[in-house]
Chains A and B, each alone.
Chain A
Amino acid sequence: MFESLQHLITGFTIAATVHNLLYCLIGCIVGTLIGVLPGLGPIAGIALLIPATFGLNPTSAIIMLAGIYYGAMYGGSTTSILLNVPGETASVITCIDGYQMAQKGRAGPALAIVAIGSFIAGTIGIFGLVFLAPPLAEAALAFGPPEYFSLMVFGFIVLSNVTGKSFLKSLMMAIVGLIIGAIGLDPVSGDARFTYGSISLLGGIEFVAVAIGVFGIGEVLVNVNQPSELLDQKVLRPRLRELYPSLQDLKKSVGPILRGAVSGFGIGLVPGPAPVIATYASYMIEKKVSKHPEEFGKGAIEGVAGPESANNSACQAAFIPLFVLGIPFGPVTAIFLGALLIHGVSPGPLMISQHPDLFWGVIASMYIGNFILLILNLPFVPLFANILRIPKKILLPLVILFCITGMYSVNNSVFDIWMMLLFGAMGFLMRKWAYEGAPLLLALVLGPKMEVAFRQSLMISHGDFGVFVNRPISMVFLLATAIFLIFPGVRFIFKQLKKGGI
């Protein structure tokens, strides 16, 4: 362990050279700009800029790309808070309380706590990476198809009612999300489902289209539907004092940030859309742990601090499988894999021993990147918050242009824009009739993977359903799900019995 510490210090000396610091800075700035545009997430940003790194040595190149990655994460939360437009998939949860805070004139504290929370979580994450990487990577391998399925079922059931009051309605939204997720080619057998012969639907409906549609466009439409007088207004004028978190805010956020960091890190090890799941889970945890759960959904700062911290540490944890096993667990790490290859470094079990400079240099620069972003973003908070001073009449069309541009940039597809509009209309109705969007999006993300894991498990076990309970990890998750579902019922029955008096 001390060896690791020594290596880390070496890493810092590498990362802290003027050159590398500059690259990190450039990466962070560009990343933030890219992240702010909805849809164009870190993936596209990193991919766009890989060519710019050609002339650099591998370490500097990866440092810059990592900066872009983080910057994009930050940028994504900015639009979620200010405009209810999720900058990218993991920012969806931030929309819920973050936007409400902005509506109450507290955009500043929200933005700031995102920066602060991410920084702290990043620090914790780095330590986790340094000291726990190899054993965690091995643990991640223990997850096979049955474990994924049970984990996802657990996550799905538990997280479906993360927002809103009616469990029933949330479940219905979740199922709708699952159905939308089933549109397209069946990943296991290759047959087309729900496509009605349309080639555009073969690939399924783009998640970003649904997310921006339901949240962003839906919100805009709700606003447009208000009487004209309201449209001349701006969102409350933030006063300078109120631009930064108060002491009370900070006190309230400590717990969520720490909890988010730890839980996010654990969840980040699971392959697939880990950061998204981490944000939902953190929100859930904070809601359950809080003494004032009714504040959630109306602008509780815990609902922003926790998920954003979880997001950050999940992103860090995602690098573990890449660096230790050489296998990317998600699209972003896959791009990093490509970038590494291009610079002549083959990630895998041998990478750390063969290229210690690179590995530790990158780890150190991740930390530095976090720090740079904190310094960059805090002063910008007032600037961003002032965006809300623009009268709604002008702001709303801008948001629409913004969303359309971002949407198109994901796949160069006008069809995606149509989908976004369609889900925008749906989002409007959902808002009117009090149906929650979060469960739908969660289902859209988890559903296809759940189904694949289910069928893979059955194929491996030759149709034996016992495979889900015979394996310890899988069993644990299924039991947890069962307990979660039955518990309220049991409690209800208990109460009735007590009332009736036996």
Chain B
Amino acid sequence: MLRKIIIGLSLALVLFMCAPIQAAEFPTKEVQIIIPWSAGGATDLIFRALGATTGKYLGEAVVIVNRTGGAGAVGYTEAMQAKPDGYTLVSAITPLTILPHRVKTAYTYASFEPIINVVKDPGMFLVRSDAPWKSLEEFLGYAKKNPEMITVGNSGTGGGVHLIALAFEDAAGVTFNHIPFAGGGPSVTALLGGHINAVSVSPPEGIEHVKAGKLKIIALFSEERFEMFPDVQTVKEQGIDFVMGQWRGLVSSKGTPPDVVNILHDAFKKGMEDPVFQKNAKDMAINLHYLGPEAFGKLMAREHELFGKLIQKMKK
């Protein structure tokens, strides 16, 4: 008899434990940002910094998860399949609109719900301070005479900076030897060690080393000069009409309810405006470029078109 009572009570306890908790307002637990690239790269650094400041405006922690592989395919595919409840976001950067043109992916930019765009940074090439080329002219001159000889590292085949490098080849009329690495961090390390001649990056990758004088910017693909390095000319100023960069924003899986999107958007916007983040951004020489969900969505659509055409042209 006693045994039966105990069993009964225990089962009741189990059921009691399973009673649903009252549904609370979003968010009730931490929000995850999937970063489809390796830790230490530009995207990773920027969103870690942003995640840190946004936490307090959101009321819950923002956690970064790296999911590398396949020029973003692994991370984006996972994010696309995540429940559209606003707890799983992914950092949407330019390669999101590139990769679907190159291989058959399960996703395109349209599989996601745009939330906010954070930065828009130019691409650039870095070389060591002791490199034989003192100016862009010398660099390109050498490249013309020695096609496919200058090794240019990138953060991964088919990634943003890789394509920027390819597009630059077109614009400058030269060819390089592109070496893929597992992210921005390793590619800069390889340059520092002298194993490659140059690296294609976008800030904040490599910025600390330029500040310290170990690396220098040999080509800058933006409209205006850097605030931090006012002596560096853009390639446009030097006669090559080439401006290309990467944007980085946040999206969540399609179907996320609009009010959740709004809460996320507002929190991240405040996170962007937070003085700590502003200072970090300045230190990293990144260019903040806020866009709301609609404008961001339109930006991605435009880029998707643009890269579609570019890839078609490049498919030799």
Contacts and interface: CB of A to CB of B under 8 A. Distances in A.
- Direct contact between the two chains A and B in their complex (CB within 8 A): yes
Interface of A: 47-48, 50-51, 54, 141-145, 184-192, 199, 202-204, 271, 321, 325-328, 331, 334-335, 337-338, 341-342, 344, 346-350, 452, 456, 459-460, 462
A349 B103 contact: no
B157 interface: yes
Interface string B257-283: 000000000000000000010011001
Contact of A187 (B182, B189, B190, B208): B182
B73 interface: yes
Nearest to A328: B40
A182 to B, nearest CB: 13
B193 A141 contact: yes
A47 B40 contact: no
A136 to B, nearest CB: 13
B70 interface: yes
A210 B61 CA distance: 30
A39 to B, nearest CB: 14
Nearest to B195: A144
Given A144-B195, A327-B189, A459-B179, A334 B40 contact: yes
Contacts of B194: 141, 144
Interface of B: 30, 38-40, 44-45, 48-49, 52-53, 55-56, 61-67, 69-71, 73-74, 77-78, 81, 99, 102-103, 106, 148, 151, 156-158, 177-182, 185-186, 188-190, 192-196, 208-209, 211-212, 214, 276, 279-280, 283-284
A145 B194 CA distance: 11
B73 A190 contact: yes
A350 B212 CA distance: 6
B195 A341 contact: no
Contacts of B190: 144-145
Contact of B195 (A145, A185, A328, A338): A145
B38 A334 contact: yes
A467 B180 CA distance: 17
Contacts of B214: 349
A325 B49 contact: no
Given A188-B180, A190-B157, A456-B180, A338 B45 contact: yes
Contacts of A334: 38-40, 44, 66, 185
B177 to A, nearest CB: 7
Given A51-B55, A145-B195, A344 B276 contact: yes
Contact of B69 (A204, A326, A338): A204
B155 to A, nearest CB: 12
Most buried by A among B106, B194, B196, B208: B208
30 contacts: A51-B52, A51-B61, A141-B189, A144-B194, A145-B195, A187-B182, A189-B157, A190-B99, A190-B102, A190-B157, A190-B158, A202-B70, A202-B73, A203-B74, A204-B69, A271-B186, A325-B189, A328-B185, A334-B39, A334-B66, A335-B39, A337-B39, A338-B49, A341-B280, A341-B284, A342-B53, A346-B280, A348-B209, A349-B208, A459-B151
Contact of A271 (B62, B189, B208): B189
Given A144-B193, A185-B69, A460-B196, A199 B106 contact: yes
B180 A348 contact: no
A190 B74 CA distance: 10
Across the A-B interface, give the 8 residue pairs with the lowest CB-CB distance, nearest first. A334-B39, A144-B195, A348-B208, A185-B70, A338-B48, A342-B52, A51-B61, A141-B193
Given A338-B45, A341-B48, A460-B179, A185 B74 contact: yes
B182 A47 contact: no
A350 B39 CA distance: 21
A186 B73 CA distance: 11
Contacts of A191: 103
A90 to B, nearest CB: 18
A51 B30 CA distance: 10
A331 to B, nearest CB: 6
Contacts of B102: 190
B66 A331 contact: yes
Given A187-B69, A334-B39, A334-B44, A347 B182 contact: no
Nearest to B62: A51
Contacts of B212: 348-350
A61 to B, nearest CB: 10
B39 A328 contact: yes
A327 B77 contact: no
Contact of B81 (A142, A199, A344): A199
A350 B211 contact: yes
Contacts of B73: 185, 190, 202
A321 B177 CA distance: 27
B53 to A, nearest CB: 8
A419 to B, nearest CB: 15
Nearest to B61: A51
A210 B55 CA distance: 34
Contact of A346 (B77, B148, B284): B284
A327 B49 CA distance: 16
B63 A203 contact: no
B208 A326 contact: yes
Nearest to B103: A190
A349 B63 CA distance: 28
Contacts of B280: 341-342, 344, 346
A143 B151 CA distance: 17
B49 A460 contact: no
Contact of A337 (B45, B53, B189, B193): B45
Contacts of A202: 69-70, 73-74, 77
B309 to A, nearest CB: 21
Given A143-B193, A327-B189, A462-B177, A47 B63 contact: yes
Nearest to B190: A144
Nearest to B48: A338
Contacts of B182: 187, 452
Contacts of B284: 341, 346
Given A48-B63, A51-B61, A188-B180, A327 B56 contact: no
A85 B131 CA distance: 50
Contacts of B65: 47
A350 B214 CA distance: 11
Contacts of B63: 47-48, 51
